[in-house]
């Protein structure tokens, strides 16, 4: 079908960047969010910027809705909400537009692969290889433009995923991945770090000089790939993210030997989606369970010892339930992990 109509559900960090990139590529897109966000976007447009060039703004006009009854029936719905919103949002959309509507789920983790099939029969999943953060309604910064890896678990014809990938590619580099499970699990390994970077509030408290932070961060991802290997997953290169060889080297060798690539990768973690939930939005709900909780269960199932991840997860459970959230010093986190 030519000129598909895309509804992007969720005008947060990912929804706003994807809407802008697809709109700039002349695709037919609209957004959906709450009334306050949608009205603001309709009045002021979208305004996104690359984190290294905050003065170069990419502005665009994308119509935003807040009532489903007003939205023209979309050919494809791109779901840009967190895993914890998926049940509610999917039920609404499935009842309104029908179970057969084509869905593209852009979530971290694999919880979406359990939830979305309860509501829809045609689902493509996207693994996102960039960071983006919300400054205000319709105003979003991004660390880099893509890429997005797309895949599915059946029920989608090759020409259907190819057509959507072709459309996405007009606005942001997108690739079809043959093994969705491997790709999603490789991304989960990187996302383990969201917990630690949130605990220290990395975007406010630079940790580039801290050897303890380096040790903890690199141990978390090294433990992560041990779990994925034990569970039978294979490496799938994610655009711009550290390889398993680098993660293994950083996990096993003295820190000074891998410090240069470590610092290069640390710079890419601007404000994780978890830090946005806990610190910027001041909430207590996050994707901790769908990422860290999931890896901890997988480690138990395959008898892999992951002490650093276990300790950081326990600390996050405590710290994220405190209102207001208070960042924890790296020394206090280190002491807790060692105990
Ligand atoms: N941000 C990032 O850098 C990255 C994010 N991801 C993943 O992408 C997914 C989306 O993340 P992100 O864009 O950061 O999330 P955000 O929380 O920034 O965006 C979600 C948006 O959807 C809105 N929303 C949720 N439910 C409803 C509803 N029922 N009606 C109307 N609006 C609703 C939210 O509103 P409200 O805030 O009011 O709830 C929010 O504006 C997550 O799974 C995340 O892990 C992956 C890679 C990078
Ligand atoms: C950008 C990145 C990779 C940080 O871990 C991410 O996926 C997120 O913020 O959720």
Domain that includes residue 245, residue range: 184-338
* Per-residue confidence (pLDDT) for residue 178, from 0 to 100: 87
Does ligand 1 come within 6 angstroms of the Cβ of 109?
Answer: no
For residue 186, the CA-to-ligand 2 centroid distance in Å is: 12
Instruction: Give the ligand 2 atom nearest the CA of 190.
Output: 5
- DSSP for 165-212, please give it: HHHHHHHS-EEE-S-HHHHHHHHHHHHTHHHHHHHTTTTTS--TT-HH
pTM above 0.80, yes or no: yes
Domain end marker among 140, 156, 178: 178
For residue 210, the CA-to-ligand 2 centroid distance in Å is: 21
Q: List alpha helices for the chain, DSSP H.
A: 13-24, 35-44, 86-97, 111-115, 158-171, 180-191, 193-199, 211-230, 244-252, 259-266, 273-275, 288, 294-301, 307-321, 330-338
Claim to verify: residue 28 and residue 117 sit in the same structural domain:
yes
Claim to verify: residue 250 and residue 328 sit in the same structural domain:
yes
Pocket test for ligand 2, best of 190, 275, 316 (most atoms within 8 A of CB): 190
For residue 130, the CA-to-ligand 2 centroid distance in Å is: 7
* 172 within 8 A of 145, measured Cβ to Cβ: yes
For the CA of 280, the nearest ligand: 1
Claim to verify: residue 212 and residue 166 sit in the same structural domain:
no
Claim to verify: residue 158 and residue 210 sit in the same structural domain:
no
Claim to verify: residue 161 and residue 190 sit in the same structural domain:
no
Report which protein residue has its CA nearest ligand 1's atom 25: 81
Report which protein residue has its CA nearest ligand 1's atom 26: 85
Pocket test for ligand 2, best of 10, 14, 17, 108 (most atoms within 8 A of CB): 108
For the CA of 193, the nearest ligand: 2
Claim to verify: residue 124 and residue 70 sit in the same structural domain:
yes
- List, in order, residues 6 or more apart from 289 with CB less than 8 Å away: none
**Complex ipTM, two decimals?**
0.99
Claim to verify: residue 32 and residue 102 sit in the same structural domain:
yes
Q: Which DSSP helix (H) or strand (E) runs through 103?
A: strand 102-105
Claim to verify: residue 16 and residue 95 sit in the same structural domain:
yes
Claim to verify: residue 99 and residue 154 sit in the same structural domain:
yes
Claim to verify: residue 198 and residue 287 sit in the same structural domain:
yes
* Per-residue confidence (pLDDT) for residue 278, from 0 to 100: 98
Domain end marker among 178, 212, 232: 178
Domain end marker among 133, 155, 178: 178
Claim to verify: residue 161 and residue 65 sit in the same structural domain:
yes
Report which protein residue has its CA nearest ligand 2's atom 9: 272
Claim to verify: residue 86 and residue 196 sit in the same structural domain:
no
Does ligand 1 come within 6 angstroms of the Cβ of 33?
Answer: yes
* Per-residue confidence (pLDDT) for residue 1, from 0 to 100: 58
For residue 194, the CA-to-ligand 2 centroid distance in Å is: 7
Instruction: Give the ligand 2 atom nearest the CA of 268.
Output: 1
Does ligand 1 come within 6 angstroms of the Cβ of 86?
Answer: no
For residue 73, the CA-to-ligand 2 centroid distance in Å is: 31
244: CATH: 1.10.1040.10
Provide the domain count of the chain: 2
Whole-angstrom Cα distance, residue 226 to residue 233?
Answer: 10
Pocket test for ligand 1, best of 80, 94, 198, 276 (most atoms within 8 A of CB): 80
For the CA of 125, the nearest ligand: 1
Q: Which residues pair with 48 in a beta bridge?
A: 58, 140
Pocket test for ligand 1, best of 40, 85, 274, 286 (most atoms within 8 A of CB): 85
- pLDDT digits (tens), the chain, 339 positions: 569 999 999 999 999 999 999 999 999 999 999 999 999 999 999 999 999 999 999 999 999 999 999 999 999 999 999 999 999 999 999 999 999 999 999 999 999 999 999 999 999 999 999 999 999 999 999 999 999 999 999 999 999 999 999 999 999 999 999 899 999 999 999 999 999 999 999 999 999 999 999 999 999 999 999 999 999 999 998 988 999 999 999 999 999 999 999 999 999 999 999 999 999 999 999 999 999 999 999 999 999 999 999 999 999 999 999 999 999 999 999 999 999
SS3 state at 135: strand
* Per-residue confidence (pLDDT) for residue 2, from 0 to 100: 65
11: CATH: 3.40.50.720
């Amino acid at each position: 079908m030519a000129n598909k109509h895309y509804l992007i559900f969720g005008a947060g960090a990912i929804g706003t960047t994807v809407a802008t990139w697809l709109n700039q590529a002349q695709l037919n897109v609209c957004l959906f969010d709450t009334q306050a966000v949608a009205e603001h976007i309709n009045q002021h447009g979208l305004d996104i910027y690359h984190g290294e060039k905050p003065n170069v703004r990419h502005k665009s006009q994308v119509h935003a809705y807040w009532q489903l009854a007003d939205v023209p029936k979309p050919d494809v719905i791109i779901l840009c909400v967190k895993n914890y919103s998926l049940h509610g949002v999917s039920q609404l959309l499935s009842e309104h537009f029908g179970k057969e509507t084509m869905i593209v789920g852009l979530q971290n983790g694999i919880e979406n692969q359990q939830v979305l099939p309860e509501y829809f029969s045609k689902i493509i999943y996207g693994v996102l290889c960039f960071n983006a953060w919300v400054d205000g309604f319709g105003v979003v910064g991004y660390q880099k433009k893509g890429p997005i890896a797309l895949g599915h678990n059946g029920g989608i014809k090759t020409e259907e995923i190819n057509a959507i990938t072709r459309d996405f590619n007009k606005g942001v580099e997108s690739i079809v991945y043959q093994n969705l499970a491997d790709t999603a699990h490789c991304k989960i390994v990187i996302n383990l770090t969201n917990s630690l970077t949130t605990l220290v509030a990395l975007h406010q408290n630079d940790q580039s000089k801290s050897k303890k932070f380096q040790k903890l961060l690199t141990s978390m991802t090294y433990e992560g790939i041990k779990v994925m290997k034990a569970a039978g997953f294979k490496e799938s290169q994610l655009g711009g993210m550290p390889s398993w060889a680098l993660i293994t080297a950083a996990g096993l060798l003295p820190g000074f030997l891998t410090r240069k690539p470590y610092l290069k990768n640390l710079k890419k973690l601007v404000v994780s989606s978890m830090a946005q939930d806990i610190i910027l939005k001041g909430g207590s709900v996050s994707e901790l369970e769908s990422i860290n909780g999931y890896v901890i269960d997988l480690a138990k199932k395959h008898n892999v010892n992951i002490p650093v991840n276990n300790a950081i997860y326990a600390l996050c459970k405590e710290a994220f339930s405190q209102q207001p959230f208070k960042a924890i010093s790296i020394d206090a986190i280190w002491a807790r992990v060692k105990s």
